[in-house]
Structure 1
């Protein structure tokens, strides 16, 4: 398990970039490695570890093969399949959060390529965009909304209502782009694909462990929940623990440390005083711009200390999830799971135009809503 992980890190160009950024930043801020562990959001790391184990368990059970076979047979064309997967990703993200939705739809998408010829990378890119668009609708769709909802004092329905216009705009836009991005050509199924063999016992065990893990998260006992999940797989299927891409957690840790170093730069020290005096347009661009470089969750945590949790702020940090890869942690999860180097630059061919559209059209919609 250790050697494959080290080999994966040796090939991981994004991880190398994060390390390089951290080294460069260390020359401009106080060098205090003892503070770095406190900069890591351990709740996120532990939650991710539990979800990764559970998803890998379902994947290795063969259940995704069964679901994939049933799903793909319902759609005659590549376009219809893509539209369904995008809608499914968006819908799941509204109540399961964007990260959890990706842990369901991306492995399923990877399974589909065993059954028919589909542009897997493009589909995963659109699924990443879909969970960013879908999750912004509800207070529980993503971490930044959870934080903003708690600070706003709004009811579940009121918060959803304030986000609905932007969510509708982004979903209609994404589906329109998806319509043109995927041709209306017939799906060609691979001949001789054996009937899927799956393990019901492992699937039901994963479901039981998932419910235990969700309960632990609700009780703020995420570490105990993750250890329970690990212990369950240690007894039931050790190969799950060996197969998980644990190096993803190191990538996230490096991101948190880089953000910690970045916000200490002298250039950013005067930011808080200026933020509270910004116009609507200035706050809109600031929230989106910060999200591009430090991710929209840290940007929300930073900005909410100086400006109220208004509709404008909520819209801006969610729009910031599009664009560059760090804009949303969901982007990193989706692309990492694809396990293909080419997807990293291809993602930006779709996400950057989506950011430009969301930033422009979203602000106009805010002004005239």
Structure 2
């Protein structure tokens, strides 16, 4: 029970959302019956299923064991950095950006026993990489899940609309990695043996992952979630206790807070005007608002005024760069690093990445529409 409750007791962001909701409730007219309807339950079902499946893959230990073996084969810092950036981007496309960080950041921290590597800089680039990689798929991050569930594109169609931006940002990030990490040889220290991995758990999680995605496509998400939960309950019930269930409560609180926020009279008139803005204004508003309240709440807020279009999808994903609150993935990565200096160093790379993404992304969007 302690393991289950610990995330709720230590999640400061959740506490902040609850306090914000209570404050808004004092100034906004609403009824308690409206609050459950404010939550997008299909999105919550999707998040819940993915949370269990990714935890199963993580708990199998396969990626940790594979990563340790691969790291031993690199001879230069630049090679290692390029691998970690590419791995973070790839994993975030199907394991979600948060889970990719939960796998790679601990692995990166363990590299201290191998050599004196620039660990903080590696973690910063991993955070940037999951923001760039996760935008490709409907399940890469929470804002994409929201946009996908509200839109009419299938799984493949969503990927196709995000592909140009993903390629642009990932290539830009890889180029930045080449300039920021020297081709200095890695001098290794003695290290521990590789961790073993659980083949049955990995295979079960991978098969269930495919089944769950198919269930989402067929609008059978609840049945898919029930199957995933039943298998884990029989096969690995301990994993269910170690999942950070507070993450789901965070998103429920976000839905409710945004619902209450939109009931403020001053904001209602402002949101009505959002739809009248020129497209560049909408693009900059979505990316800019993400800097303040994070891109997930921004998506929830703007979906009440704007369609789940490619413009909105690109803008809120670009908004994950820049300031620290832009994406929850940023907060997760830097908090796991346990280095006070990293909070300031992060912005030396993230803010230029935001500016580049805004300019190049808008030009690319106009080019695609004109073609």
Q: Tell me the TM-score normalized by structure 2.
A: 0.78
Tell me: CA distance 1:13–1:78, structure 2 relative to 1, closer, same or farther (3 Å).
farther
Task: Write the deviation string for residues 68-102 of structure 1: whole angstroms up to 9, x where unpaired.
Answer: 122212322333222222223334555x3xx5365
Tell me: CA distance 1:8–1:349, structure 2 relative to 1, closer, same or farther (3 Å).
farther
Give unpaired runs (5+ residues) of structure 1.
Answer: none
Contact 2:39–2:256 (Cα < 8 Å) also in 1: yes
**2:33 match: secondary structure:** helix
Aligned to 2:33: 34
**Cα separation, 2, equivalents of 1:139 and 1:197:** 32
User: RMSD between aligned alpha carbons?
Assistant: 3.8
Asked if 1:245 corresponds to 2:244, the answer is: yes
Question: Structure 2 matches for 1:233-312, cutoff 5 A?
Answer: 233-293=232-292, 295-296=294-295, 299-300=298-299, 303=302, 312=311
Question: Structure 2 matches for 1:1-369, cutoff 5 A?
Answer: 2-93=1-92, 96=94, 100=96, 102-104=98-100, 106-114=102-110, 116=114, 122-136=121-135, 147=147, 160=160, 166-187=165-186, 189=188, 191-293=190-292, 295-296=294-295, 299-300=298-299, 303=302, 312-324=311-323, 327-328=326-327, 331=330, 338=336, 350-363=349-362, 366=365
**Cα separation, 2, equivalents of 1:8 and 1:310:** 35
Tell me: CA distance 1:30–1:79, structure 2 relative to 1, closer, same or farther (3 Å).
farther
Tell me: CA distance 1:341–1:255, structure 2 relative to 1, closer, same or farther (3 Å).
farther
Q: Tell me the TM-score normalized by structure 1.
A: 0.78
Tell me: CA distance 1:157–1:52, structure 2 relative to 1, closer, same or farther (3 Å).
closer
Give unpaired runs (5+ residues) of structure 2.
Answer: none
Note the C-alpha offset of 1:67: 0.9
**Cα separation, 2, equivalents of 1:38 and 1:344:** 37
Note the C-alpha offset of 1:239: 1.8
Aligned length: 363
Tell me: CA distance 1:368–1:248, structure 2 relative to 1, closer, same or farther (3 Å).
closer
Tell me: CA distance 1:215–1:167, structure 2 relative to 1, closer, same or farther (3 Å).
closer
Task: Write the deviation string for residues 9-48 of structure 1: whole angstroms up to 9, x where unpaired.
Answer: 3332222222222222222212433322222222333222
Note the C-alpha offset of 1:3: 2.0
**Cα separation, 1, equivalents of 2:12 and 2:142:** 27
